[in-house]
Amino acid sequence: MNAVIIAVLIMLALSLARVHVVIALVIGALAGGVIGGLGLTETIDVFTNGLGGSANVALSYALLGGFAIAISRTGLPDVIVKLALAIVGKEGESRKRALSKALIFLIILIISCFSQNVVPIHIAFIPILIPPILKILNELGVDRRAIATIITFGLTTPYILLPYGFGAIYHDIVETNMAESGLVINRADIPVALMLPVAGLLLGLLVAVFVSYRKQRNYETKGFTNGEGVAKGTATNRSIIFSILAIIVTLIVQLITNSMIVSALAGLVVIYLSGTVNWKESDEMVTSGMKMMAFIGFVMLSASGFAAVIRETGHVDQLVEQVAGVIGQNQGLAALLMLLVGLFITMGIGSSFSTIPIIAAIFVPLGEAVGFSPLAIIALIGTAGALGDAGAPASDSTLGPTAGLNADGQHDHIWDTCVPTFIHFNIPLLVLGWIAAMVL
């Protein structure tokens, strides 16, 4: 039995059964380590040592949660809500509500896409933007699963296709690892090879927004989970100006330092120095924000330990080698199995960026042996790496949307983010990635 497959299947099965994803990751890692021959004691040691891999991310999200609560205390969210409700109009004005809904969807989509390439802050915008507009979404009867798919689309599609921001990093990883594996490519060919798979993501987004989740879904309007009463503030001209300034400073510092920790801290300092937040309430405010974002931090820590265990077993290479033995010269079967391997690895590790080095070393010689063109191999590696980023319980592309949409405790990570994004993105990505490999 392959330890990677068993570990991932156990983790996914427990998560779907509504076992907390952190517990599912720990149990899956322990099972995978034991099956992989590490033994229980060594598995525990590897898992524990691997936890530090995401410590920086966990602290970043905790501080961003505190910053989100601080922004809410300035009164800026209430101003946004009032303006939006004025646009929405009365309940009977269906056309106005539909236009308002479309406008909000478009704004979230643009910001999500820009966070990868134009202003590469990744998911740092989510705790700032999403919790304050939940009240608006409730007024419009928006199904939050639609918002989850919009955000996840914006967090994944731009870096897969466009060589800017995080896309430049992803394309560099693809090019570098393919070259190290014996196939030198022109980086300009990567967007060409991945254009068809990305079309699958766009198709999935359209189906999710206009078909699957177009009906109204009702939610209660209430405060943030673990922070009841903190999402309030009296808006003044001074508080609004400084809250906007704090957001701008946060974005600029993020671009300069490439650190979410420093950027969130800078935003908090601006709000503190402005005097718009009472110093006596600062401790409670930051603690409440950390509680709101604690979930994503603990999942990322657990996922880091899980990834360390499945790598240590050595069964990732074994899985790829087993696939190579089954393929023979059948290109159609080769493409399908290679993409499925990428899906399993990424679902377990939770990072497409970390998957590329693992699969490129095997996919390049395997693809050449089967007779795939360089463009087809690029499509296979790029798509296989991206597969699972959407839909993986431990991926920041799903954890980020959940952290924002579940700020009031009404959005389930697995069933409202992971399952919808898996269905609408991974399935079309798998199909069109396979087609790209066969036609390029």
pLDDT over 70 percentage in the chain: 82
Task: Please write the tens of the pLDDT for every residue from 182-195.
Answer: 888 888 999 999 99
Task: Confirm whether 371 is domain-assigned.
Answer: no
* pLDDT value for 201: 94
Q: How many Cβ atoms are within 10 Å of 396's Cβ, its own excluded?
A: 23
* pLDDT value for 231: 46
Task: Please write the tens of the pLDDT for every residue from 377-393.
Answer: 999 998 988 887 788 88
* pLDDT value for 134: 86
Task: Give the range among 47-61, 84-98, 157-171 with minimum mean pLDDT.
Answer: 84-98
Mean pLDDT, range 341-369, rounded to an integer: 76
The distance from CA 265 to its chain's CA centroid, rounded to whole angstroms, is: 22
* pLDDT value for 54: 61
Q: Which residue has the higher pLDDT, 290 or 367?
A: 367
Which phi and psi (to 5°) does residue 227 adopt?
-150, 40
* pLDDT value for 227: 45
Spatial contact of 398 and 392, defined as CB atoms under 8 Å apart? yes
Q: How many Cβ atoms are within 10 Å of 224's Cβ, its own excluded?
A: 24
Residue 120 has pLDDT above 90, yes or no: no
The C-alpha atoms of residue 234 and residue 245 are separated, in whole angstroms, by 17
Confidence of residue 145 (pLDDT cuts 50, 70, 90): very high
Task: Confirm whether 260 is domain-assigned.
Answer: yes
Q: Which residue has the higher pLDDT, 141 or 351?
A: 141
Mean pLDDT, range 18-40, rounded to an integer: 85
Task: Confirm whether 433 is domain-assigned.
Answer: no
Task: Confirm whether 272 is domain-assigned.
Answer: yes
Range of the domain at 245: 55-298
Task: Confirm whether 350 is domain-assigned.
Answer: no
CA angle 352, 355, 356 (to 5 degrees): 95
Average pLDDT over all residues of the chain: 80
The C-alpha atoms of residue 263 and residue 283 are separated, in whole angstroms, by 19
Task: Confirm whether 78 is domain-assigned.
Answer: yes
- Pair of tokens at residue 203: 């198709």
* pLDDT value for 334: 86
Question: How many residues can be counted in the chain?
Answer: 440
The C-alpha atoms of residue 223 and residue 231 are separated, in whole angstroms, by 6
Spatial contact of 202 and 432, defined as CB atoms under 8 Å apart? no
- For the chain, how many structural domains are there in total? 1
Q: Which residue has the higher pLDDT, 103 or 88?
A: 103
CA angle 178, 197, 123 (to 5 degrees): 85
The C-alpha atoms of residue 417 and residue 396 are separated, in whole angstroms, by 11
* pLDDT value for 86: 65
* pLDDT value for 308: 80
The C-alpha atoms of residue 191 and residue 382 are separated, in whole angstroms, by 10
Mean pLDDT, range 168-181, rounded to an integer: 83
* pLDDT value for 232: 52
pLDDT over 90 percentage in the chain: 19
Task: Give the range among 9-18, 27-36, 55-64, 411-420 with minimum mean pLDDT.
Answer: 55-64
Task: Confirm whether 249 is domain-assigned.
Answer: yes
Mean pLDDT, range 160-181, rounded to an integer: 83
Confidence of residue 61 (pLDDT cuts 50, 70, 90): low
Spatial contact of 246 and 271, defined as CB atoms under 8 Å apart? yes
Task: Confirm whether 389 is domain-assigned.
Answer: no
* pLDDT value for 230: 44
* pLDDT value for 436: 94
Task: Please write the tens of the pLDDT for every residue from 211-259.
Answer: 999 998 988 877 655 444 444 556 677 777 888 888 788 778 877 876 7
Residue 27 has pLDDT above 80, yes or no: yes
Most confident of 65-79, 178-192, 279-293, 324-338: 178-192
Most confident of 72-81, 253-262, 391-400: 391-400
* pLDDT value for 228: 43
Residue whose tokens read 């896409």: 113
Mean pLDDT, range 308-324, rounded to an integer: 77
Residue whose tokens read 């991932």: 8
